Structure formats: C-alpha cells, structure tokens
Amino acid sequence: MELMSHSSTFLLPNLSSDGGPVLTYVLVILNQHLPRFTPLIWKHAQLHMCADGGANRLYDELPLLFPDEDALAVRIRYKPDVIKGDMDSVRDDVLGFYKNLGTEVVNASDDQDTTDLHKCVAYIQDLPNLKNQNICILVAGALGGRFDHEVGNINVLCRFSSMRIILLSDDCLIQLLPSSHHHEIRIQHAFEGPHCGLIPIGGPSKSTTTGLQWNLDDTEMNFGGLISTSNIVKEEVVTVRSNSNLLWTISIKKP
C-alpha cells in the first residue's frame, strides 16, 4: 500500500518539505475565533478564502494580532482573494470593504444542502490553476463554537477524503488519515504535541502505530469501545496503518 507523508511544516516560520511532499497551501477562514498563527499560515498560502462570516472574523480579529499597526493597513494587507458562501452571516460593510479592494464574491445561497466549508473546498477542487498541484487546505477557525458546525467540518474531511484538509484552532489540528494509504507523520516537536489522538470515523477500525507512548497493535477501535485519546507522541515520526479511516489530532503548543 502506498505511503502518505504528513508534516505540520506550515507552522514553521519558513516552509520546508521536511522530507515529505512539496505542497501548495490554500487557506480557508471560517466564522470562529482566528488562531494566533493566522498571519503565518496566510504567508504560506497561495490562495486565501473566507467562508461567508469568516470575512467578519478576518476584518474584526486580524488587526488585533497587530496592536501596534493601523487597523486599516492590516485589513488592506490581508485581503482575501475570494469570499464564498450563502451570504447569511457576512456583514454588508465587510463585504463592501473587500469588494472595493477587488475580492471576488461568490454567492452560493442557492445551495442549502452543503456547509460553507464544503462550498469552499468544492470551489478549490475545481480551480484550473491548481489542478496539477499537491494541494493542502488549511482551515482556520474550524473548531470551537457550535458542535453541529464542528461535526459538519469533520464531515467535509470525510466527504473530500482524497484531499489534504487540516482543521485548525489555537489548541489543536485535525486531519483525516484515509485507509487507502499507510501514513507517516513527521512531528514538529517545537510547535505541536505531545498530546494526540486517533479516532475511528465512519465505523470500527483495526489499527497499528509506532512512535506513540501507547501504540496500537492491530487494535480494534470503535465508538462505544476503545478510542485512542490523550496519547503521547514519543518519537520524531509516527506511523499509522488502519483498515478504516481515522482522524488524527495533535495539540498545538502555546508560544
């Protein structure tokens, strides 16, 4: 089975392949609290999108990360390329501000069956200029707030299981490890860990790991039974093999 490599090098000041694949990053901002490292991942991203009310968060919260700078200058510098969603959350003043700066606005209010994150990922998937690139979508503000929104975001990971999508908050990240691959996760110990977890999603799993304090050895996991929470990364590389999709989560350290 083919090996898939992962590394949170987007948390580093300067991008590095870290022995893994060279990735093209896309940033999507949702309508929750912006992580403190948003300016860093913005710098690494080739495309910047806001999902509906995520534009409010960008407008309101990003200047707070630069308290010594003029708020207007910060808003102009961090202008999203695209705002997409059903437009039920973004404020008119925010929408007008970014439209005047040249931001593309894609109104998808005719689609009420998918979440705003789903709409953004589908948009990214169809972009011709990204077709032949190894894309990784970083989703800021994906966690916290209403639980149904969080579950909806996790559902997007499963719906687009062939794409690299990482949900981010100040405290942790979550990504899908599809069972179609074996996985090698290079740990950035300066910025993430030690706490981590492996969660079966969609059904029971039998999983084997290395590099953790409590490794799995063809261990069965399922909701209502065992799941690997509050585990600890012990080595530079964690490997994961499973016969079912898993969610990988790891804590992000405070500065």
Superfamily of domain 20-170: Thiamin pyrophosphokinase, catalytic domain (3.40.50.10240)
Contact 201, 234 (CB under 8 A): no
Helix (H, G, I), strand (E, B) or coil at 231: strand
Contact 249, 238 (CB under 8 A): no
Residue 210 — φ and ψ, nearest 5°? Answer: -135, 160
Determine the Cα–Cα distance for residues 88 and 53; give it in Å rounded to an integer: 8
For the segment 246-255, what is each residue's pLDDT rounded down to a tens digit? 999 999 998 7
Task: Report the pLDDT averaged over residues 81-86.
Answer: 93
Q: For residue 23, how far is the Cα from the chain centroid?
A: 14
Partners of 220 in beta bridges: 206
Determine the Cα–Cα distance for residues 16 and 35; give it in Å rounded to an integer: 21
Q: What is the pLDDT of residue 255?
A: 79
Q: Class for domain 171-255, per CATH?
A: mainly beta
Check residues 149 and 235 and name the one with the higher pLDDT. Answer: 235
∠ CA 44-162-8, nearest 5°, is 35
Helix (H, G, I), strand (E, B) or coil at 112: coil
Task: Pick the closest to residue 161 from 250, 247, 41, 45 (CA basis).
Answer: 247
pTM to 2 decimals? 0.95
| Strand stretches in the chain, DSSP E | 3-7, 24-29, 45-51, 82-85, 104-107, 135-140, 164-168, 172-177, 182-186, 192-200, 205-210, 219-221, 228-232, 237-242, 246-252
Q: What is the pLDDT of residue 144?
A: 86
Contact 140, 31 (CB under 8 A): no
For the segment 6-30, what is each residue's pLDDT rounded down to a tens digit? 999 999 988 776 666 789 999 999 9
Angle between helices 54-61 and 92-100 (to 10 degrees): 80
* Tokens found for residue 168: 């981010």
Q: What is the pLDDT of residue 99?
A: 97
Which has the minimum average pLDDT: 11-25, 146-160, 164-178, 204-218? Answer: 11-25
Domain locations in the chain? 20-170, 171-255
Pairing, β 45-51 against β 24-29 = parallel
For the segment 147-163, what is each residue's pLDDT rounded down to a tens digit? 998 999 999 999 999 99
